[in-house]
Amino acid sequence: MKKSLFLLLTFLSLSLGAFAASYNPSSRVSEIGNALLTKNGISIANVKFEVTSRSVDNSTFAQDRIVSVSKDDLQYAGNDNETAAVVANELGYIISGNASKDRFITSVTGNSSNDDVASSLVKNYTYTKAQKEADVIAVNLMANAGYNPLAAIVVLTKQTSTYWNVLQGKPANADRAMNIYDYTGYAYPAKLKAGYSCNEYKSFLIYADSVLAQRKENKSLEEKSQKELKKYRQNSLSQISKFKTRGGLTFWDALFGIFRGE
């Protein structure tokens, strides 16, 4: 009996390992991308999803209707939820307008950035803000399409930590991951309560619990967090709604068209 049970467990273990190894996120991008759009009521004709090894640039989505997804990012996706997290994040950049914003600024100024320290600090702040806006929109898209938004945390924390992350005892992309965790709890509490079953998420919870403990001891931090989450909720829903009614255009796309006299 014990031998039979051992053989059964061994077979199941090998079967699950083979299944995990055979998962190909690149082959799932198109179907998952279209599901994210249609299940959120975003009706745009002729949208194509492509996987690229080059640097992702979705600034021309309004013209070519192509959503580029990074092959490098997809290497951290082990199932459909995690693939949806990668695709939804790129859609988040497009819908928020951050994908096309830099293109407009470059077209007006002839230069998207400067090399001085002050400009670099502003650019880093703006980039982080854009990342979080895209993440929040991605959570909305995933939750409404039936994917687990907590998978976005797993994809981020699977990535390689910087030395600064390690010194601080934080997981990779800790601030973005915590923002996703907070927003999911604020906007989709049932999703947060259901959790996500994997070791990476369990490890992240150790960090999240320490952040929550600090907020509990400092009411001003908790109040600030709640205000930010409320703002994220309002802005993200507004951005998605406007993207729908404009037929896939953002404010920056429209502004770029006006600038070019279109």
Q: Where are the domains of the chain?
A: 24-259
Q: What are the tokens at 36?
A: 């994210």
| 145, β-bridge pairs | none
The pTM of the full predicted model, rounded to 2 decimals, is 0.84
Are 149 and 191 in contact by the 8 Å Cβ rule? The answer is yes
Distance CA 155, CA 58 (A): 20
Distance CA 112, CA 108 (A): 9
More confident residue, 120 or 137: 137
CA-nearest of 30, 82, 81 to 51 is 30
Are 250 and 95 in contact by the 8 Å Cβ rule? The answer is yes
pLDDT of amino acid 78 = 97
Task: Give the model's confidence band at 107: pLDDT under 50 very low, under 70 low, under 90 confident, else very high.
Answer: low
Does the structure show a pLDDT above 60 at 105?
A: yes
Exposed/middle/buried for residue 181 (C-beta within 10 Å: 0-12, 13-18, 19+): buried
Distance CA 181, CA 139 (A): 10
pLDDT of amino acid 148 = 98
